[in-house]
Amino acid sequence: MEKFVIHHADSLQGMVRVSGAKNAALPILAACLLTQEPCVIENVPPLTDILNMLEIIRGFGAEVSYDQEKESIVICAKELTSLESYYEQAGKMRASILVAGPLLSRYGQAKLPHPGGCQIGSRPIDLHLKGFHAMGAKSKQEHGIIELTAKRMKGTSIYLDFPSVGATENIMMAAVLARGTTVIENAAAEPEIIDLADFLKGIGANIQGDGTDTIEITGVKELTGSTHPVIPDRIEAGTFMVGAAITGGDIILQNVREEHLKPVIAKLAECNVKIETVPEGLHVCRKGKLQPLQLKTMPFPGFPTDMQAPFMSLMALAKGTSVITETVFENRFTHAGELLRMGADIRIESRNAVIEGVEELTGSKVRATDLRAGAALILSALAAKGETEIGDIHHIERGYYKIDEKLRALGADIQRQEEN
The residues that are catalytic are 118
Annotated binding site for UDP-N-acetyl-alpha-D-glucosamine: 94, 123-127, 306, 328
Annotated binding site for phosphoenolpyruvate: 22-23
Q: Distance between CA atoms of 131 and 105, rounded to whole angstroms? A: 12
C-alpha to C-alpha distances, 90 to 21, 85, 142, 390, nearest whole angstrom = 20, 7, 16, 27
8 A C-beta contact, residue 185 and residue 161? no
Strand partners, 184: 158, 215
Annotated binding site: 22-23, 94, 123-127, 306, 328
User: According to the 3-state scheme, what is the secondary structure of the chain?
Assistant: CEEEEEECCCCCEEEEECCECHHHHHHHHHHHHHCCCCEEEECCCCCHHHHHHHHHHHHCCCEEEEECCCCEEEEECCCCCCCECCHHHHCCCHHHHHHHHHHHHHHCEEEEECCCCCCCCCCCCHHHHHHHHHCCCEEEEECCEEEEECCCCECCEEECCCCCHHHHHHHHHHHCCCECEEEEECCCCCHHHHHHHHHHHHCCCEEECCCCCEEEEECCCCCCCEEEECCECHHHHHHHHHHHHHCCCEEEEECCCHHHCHHHHHHHHHCCEEEEEECCEEEEEECCCCCCCEEEECCCCCECHHHHHHHHHHHCCCCCEEEEECCCCCCCCHHHHHHHHCCCEEEEECCEEEEECCCCCECCEEECCCHHHHHHHHHHHHHCECEEEEECCCCHHHCCCCHHHHHHHCCCEEEEEECC
